[in-house]
Structure 1
């Protein structure tokens, strides 16, 4: 299952997995209209299906997770790729969270938490969380997650969501260590040639194919089959930032996750 697979990296990863012989690929899109276009394009390559859920609405994320659990007996691979880059200044979701923080981190955490037991039961299985080298640029502003008291350069909202995904990776790896389910995080390339990067007016530095190839290699079995709790810069296993490895920072993030209890 690949979240955010109605365009960009998600579509490219889905196509590569199908061409490499994946028995089934589950796409995710914000809406059926967006997803069905990709579904029809990839259908000739193999068994591909679609689930939908808007990550700016946590009730939809929970409903999507329940749909996945009802329809699929196994979840061998989960790629958490859905995310947004730049958003309008200080947007808030109907759930009361800053939009980038919710889409890039909270929704992915909620989905994974609700699927965690099934993923563990499907072991050997794996979760790959798409993060970014941008996690090194920004701390998590635990006392101001909505960035109300900051100048709010758009990159700041994006970057503080990325160490959160890496910390979540480390916590999940610890929780699933005894059941042969691996959890890793990945920076798949700097300024990958996606719509989000082009809209930000940054010149792409990594091709879509190279970004997708990194994901596929690491989830295909040959990449990180026996490794868990790692961070990869494309194909290179490396250390994430000191802040993302800090136990106190991870404890504070756990307190933030407690705010999602009503959806868990």
Structure 2
């Protein structure tokens, strides 16, 4: 085994997010009592849904939580709500637009400069079944936000995560990946009629493949 084994592990891909959310609403709870005092956690798309509930639970456990969202008004409101419920004042909102490579680079640069350590990155944000929109950089919106944006963010923060080991990268996916097919000749749906469902499935399959390859590389295999 390579003695320079990268000390960062990928927690894996959370598959079936809708099922997890349903279980949470129905009363499901994590049995672990572990706390994360002093740990810094970034959660993308944390102003609502699974992202907010994840941030809330981790804030309860004492973490320094960074909510990374596009809509700052909603993000600030979510951070305030979480601080009020948990009495954890180390919950902050940061601007991150995953449909903009410039925004992603600016966010990562600020995190790298201002945060001494980053222990957990939760890539949660997603766009689902939108019209045929494109990102600021011309990518099909669902592939751009769900996969490409998180791919860039993860790689920009990788050195910080390595330096903060033991660390975790969590990529949220969906059972939709099962129906996914990646058309490498037409990733942006420029040569065929746009199918928003198929585009979403493609993006979630890309997340699965990214997670598997990232895990392989970080294990030094």
Fold match by TM threshold 0.5: yes
- Residue 130 of structure 2, aligned match among 82, 87, 91: 87
Runs in 1 of length 4+ with deviation above 3 angstroms?
Answer: none
8 Å CA contact 2:119–2:165 kept in 1: the answer is yes
1:35 pairs with 2:75: yes
1:10 pairs with 2:51: yes
8 Å CA contact 1:51–1:67 kept in 2: the answer is no
Tell me the TM-score normalized by structure 1: 0.64
In the TM superposition, what are the counterparts of 1:177-192 in structure 2 within 5 Å? 177-178=219-220
Distance between the aligned counterparts of 1:56 and 1:114, measured in 2?
16
In the TM superposition, what are the counterparts of 1:127-142 in structure 2 within 5 Å? 127-142=169-184
8 Å CA contact 1:3–1:27 kept in 2: the answer is yes
Match of 1:123 in 2: 165
Structure 1 residues 91, 73: CA separation in 2 closer, same or farther (over 3 Å shift)?
same
**C-alpha RMSD of matched pairs (Å):** 1.5
Match of 1:70 in 2: 113
Distance between the aligned counterparts of 2:192 and 2:140, measured in 1?
13
CA positional deviation for 1:73: 1.2
Tell me the TM-score normalized by structure 2: 0.76
Distance between the aligned counterparts of 2:152 and 2:143, measured in 1?
13
Distance between the aligned counterparts of 2:219 and 2:160, measured in 1?
15
Distance between the aligned counterparts of 2:171 and 2:112, measured in 1?
20
Distance between the aligned counterparts of 1:41 and 1:13, measured in 2?
13
| Secondary structure class of the residue paired with 1:152 | coil
Distance between the aligned counterparts of 1:147 and 1:31, measured in 2?
27
- Measured against aligned partners, the alpha-carbon deviations of 1:2-42 in whole angstroms (never above 9, x if no partner) come to 101011111111111122x1331111110322211011111
8 Å CA contact 2:76–2:92 kept in 1: the answer is no
Distance between the aligned counterparts of 1:163 and 1:148, measured in 2?
19
Aligned residues: 177
- Measured against aligned partners, the alpha-carbon deviations of 1:154-191 in whole angstroms (never above 9, x if no partner) come to 1111000111111111222122225xxxxxxxxxxxxx
- Measured against aligned partners, the alpha-carbon deviations of 1:211-262 in whole angstroms (never above 9, x if no partner) come to xxxxxxxxxxxxxxxxxx9xxxxxxxxxxxxxxxxxxxxxxxxxxxxxxxxx
Give 5+ residue unaligned stretches, structure 1. 179-228, 230-264
Give 5+ residue unaligned stretches, structure 2. 1-41
Distance between the aligned counterparts of 2:179 and 2:72, measured in 1?
35
